[in-house]
Amino acid sequence: MTAQTRSSQDRPLLAISLRIAAMVMLSTMFMLIKVASERGVSVPELIFWRQALSVPLIFAWLVATGNVGLLATRRMGSHAMRATTGTAGLCCNVGAATLLPLPEATTLGFTSPLFAVVITALVLRDKVGVWRWTAVALGFAGVLIIAQPGSEPVAPLGIASGLGAGIIVATVSFQIRDLARTDAPISCVFWFAFYGTLLTAVLLPIYARPHGMTEWIVLGAIALTGTLAQFLITAALRYGQVASVVVMDYSSLIWATLYGWLIWDSFPPSTTAFGAPLIIAAGLIITWRERYLSRRISPTSAMDVSAMEEMACDTPAETPGEPAPRP
């Protein structure tokens, strides 16, 4: 796909609005996950039902609207690989949400731009300048403040889960954007839920427990809000560049803090109040620098970069035996 064709699809204001709405849904989903965990629902169950209940929801909607044909795809392998990496990210996110207060878990998810810079420099061997390295140092200083090493620590496994989610999200947005160029957003969401259900079903016989009506209602709400969030995220990446829309992810900290206050009567500690602005500032610096550098690329070079991005997303999905690309 040429740079000119891609730019004709971009609608920045719509993409930003969709991303903000996605963050509201995503924050609500993680709030419900934390509630369900406190009511005795295990993490493997949460991940399975988040995916499994989404499949009939999406399919029923497509049947009702006469749009089942939107599920047709020539890229089933890419969908399966995206589901594998996405499910790993979901495991990390759920783990962080259940082990940490919501604002801390949300803030650690903001580290994805920092890991993207590290991957760019160490794996892709691209040149990274002083601006982005400074942002990385600033962001990880914020992580250290939140983690409080040397004092009474925040749950170590929760910190590890939050950082793991940041690593995965660092690349999965590009994977989704690549799929959204050829497949309908609802198709991307459906196949993610379908393959994610298959991947997590193996754990259900071990961890499944009987639950009451309240827990099942909460699980259904998790599936609904998660499905809406995934659809909105995919749609946003269809109409806007990754560097433009991911900035809106920081709005989720507002909703996480609000839920923490309304439901658990808690506010973020001073460590989060000091660490979160550093992580957010680092992400904003990286985003600004990426947009600045992209404007300096000539049209010919931009087309070359576009082709490289497509190769990076497509080649692993078509090559048997290669590991799934980092989301």
Give the DSSP per-residue string, 121-148: HHTS-----HHHHHHHHHHHHHHHHHH-
pLDDT at 268: 80
Helix or strand holding residue 298 (H, E): none
pTM for this prediction = 0.74
pLDDT at 41: 93
pLDDT at 312: 34
Q: Which of 211-215, 244-248, 320-324 has the lowest mean pLDDT?
A: 320-324
CA count, 13 A, side-chain hemisphere, 96? 27
Whether 61 shows a pLDDT value over 80: the answer reads: yes
* pLDDT (tens digit per residue) in 80-109: 988 998 889 889 989 999 998 898 888 888
Q: What is the distance between the alpha carbons of residues 44 and 123, in angstroms, rounded to a whole number? A: 32
**Under 8 Å between Cβ of 261 and 101:** no
* pLDDT (tens digit per residue) in 139-195: 888 888 887 765 556 788 888 998 888 888 777 766 777 887 888 888 888 998 999
**Under 8 Å between Cβ of 169 and 109:** yes
Of the candidates 24, 67, 2, 64, the residue with the CA atom closest to the CA atom of residue 252 = 24
> To the nearest whole percent, how much of the chain has pLDDT over 90?
29
> To the nearest whole percent, how much of the chain has pLDDT over 70?
83
Q: What is the distance between the alpha carbons of residues 110 and 285, in angstroms, rounded to a whole number? A: 13
